[in-house]
Amino acid sequence: MPNSNDEPGTRETGRVELAVVGAGPAGLAAAVTAADHGLDVVLLDAAAAPGGQYYRSPAEGLGATRPGALHHDWPTFTELSARLAAHRDTGTIRHLTGHQVWTVERTGDGDWILHAVTGADEEVRTAVRARRMLLATGAHERQLPFPGWTLPGVVGAAGAQAMLKSGLVLLGSRIVVAGSGPLLQAVALSLTRAGARVPALVEAAGYGAYARAPRVLAANPGKAAEGARFAAELAGARVRVLSHRAVTEVHGDERVEAVTVSRVDRRWRPVPGTGRRIACDALAVGHGLMPQLDLAVAAGCGTRPGPDGTHAVTLDEQLRTTVPGVWAAGESGGIGGVELALCEGELAALSVVREIRGGVRGREARRAVALRRSRRRLRAFADLMGAVHRPGPGWREWLTDGTEVCRCEEVGAGRIRTACEELGAGDTRTVKLLTRAGMGWCQGRTCGFAVRELAAAHGGGQEPGGPDRRPLACPVKLSTLADLSGPG
């Protein structure tokens, strides 16, 4: 492996006990907990500041006087940030901001090498060597296509919230929020608090389905109370909550002018004659989140299907993956929200400490027992949430042949159907080869779920048996690949 003496653009860190990838809630909790117990930690994150997507903050130059106003439980983040700063000052944590980890590899002696690039032009390449690795890589938004979704003014629901949190920018003045999942409520409330008018929150599933699991609800009373608070605040902001409905078309010439909202049945099939137009100048839409698994899959970690239709890293009660020396926490192990992510981050760190130091005792051992109990409770609620909001197969009936599914390569639903029904594509991979769907810049992160579902529905393969496999977690230059000559 090249070092800083061989090539100015590459640098290596010294060997550390633990490398944590991702400085969101899970990664931040893991890093500071591990450092609290004396481990030497490197925390790598692509962002310029800690917090991840959930605790995303406005840039300093914007002069925000109350950065926590758009956040829930901001004091938890400020406490974690203070602990991180203290460990940075003492050198127990090296926080490498702006470092995008693009691949990992195992050395012959069992260490891990994490390869990262820095800057828009990848002018600096970094290799971190660690005895143990903890992945807290978060999630990305799941999108389902529909006619008009490529018009300017249509953004992901999480994207709309990110624009507001980091840039203090509203994407419109009259914004419809649509899709499925509890994130929609938080997004709608954030937009109304910032001054936007939200005429409707359009939920394809039904919140009443939560009542089918009374034991899970009884074990998580805080979740029910939070839902009630959200509902009351939405009502106070005059936001209509339309359940069992979906945006099935967007209208406009150069940007969004209106949307059609249709009632859908339990399989998410549009009910004929129920479409109603709602005037708006923007649409924030998302159908849940998907774990970001590129690095975990590259490391050889096993995965499992989840109740929400996604795949997640397989973990034991100690947050260990199926690969020795690798842990994961937060959304990597299944979408569950910030409370679960914080719990898992701390628990995973204690598990690493136990392995490296030969155990934990006294208060730390009791804390680990309590965290495992909380994790089981919160994971049960996360599984319920995933099952309630899982997309039904009827969403495919929203599409016309001309509806773009893959935006990068401009592939419409009709071309995917033709590949399966007329050209003999027998699996999703062949569909990609015949149509180039999922082969653009995002490598299927946006359209992969939709392409697989369409292919399976039209004879192009069964339900996917595992997650997408990408050799690289982000695009890199050929010179960066050439620089990867094996572990040192």
Q: Tens-of-pLDDT digits for all 488 residues of the chain? A: 444 444 445 677 778 999 999 999 999 999 999 999 999 999 999 998 999 988 887 776 666 656 666 667 789 999 999 999 999 999 999 999 999 999 999 998 999 999 999 876 656 889 999 999 999 999 999 999 999 999 999 999 999 998 998 888 899 999 999 999 999 999 999 999 999 999 999 999 998 899 999 999 999 999 989 888 999 999 999 999 999 999 999 999 999 999 999 999 999 999 999 999 999 999 999 999 999 999 999 999 999 999 999 999 999 999 999 999 999 999 999 999 999 999 999 999 999 999 998 877 788 889 999 999 999 999 999 999 999 999 999 999 999 999 999 999 999 999 999 999 999 888 888 998 999 998 888 888 888 899 988 988 887 655 555 677 777 888 788 878 777 754 44
DSSP characters over 93-145: EEEETTEEEEEEEE-TTS-EEEEEEETTTT-EEEEEEEEEEEE---EEE----
Query: DSSP letter at 473?
Result: S
> For residue 151, which amino acid is it?
L
> For residue 166, which amino acid is it?
S
> For residue 378, which amino acid is it?
L
Q: Give me the chain's average pLDDT, please.
A: 90
Rounded CA separation 450/405 (Å): 7
Rounded CA separation 43/121 (Å): 22
Residue 8 has what pLDDT? 47
Express each pLDDT in 302-356 by its tens digit. Answer: 999 999 999 999 999 999 999 999 999 999 999 999 999 999 999 999 999 999 9
147: which residues sit within 8 A by CB, 6+ positions away?
248, 249, 250, 398, 399, 400, 402, 403
What share of the chain in percent tops pLDDT 90?
A: 71
Q: Which of 371, 294, 385 is CA-nearest to residue 332?
A: 294
Tokens of 179: 């899709």
For each of the domains in the chain, give its residue range(s) and CATH number, in order of start: 10-140+290-385 (3.50.50.60), 143-287 (3.50.50.60), 399-488 (1.10.10)
Residue 410 CB coordination number (10 Å):
13
Rounded CA separation 451/469 (Å): 15
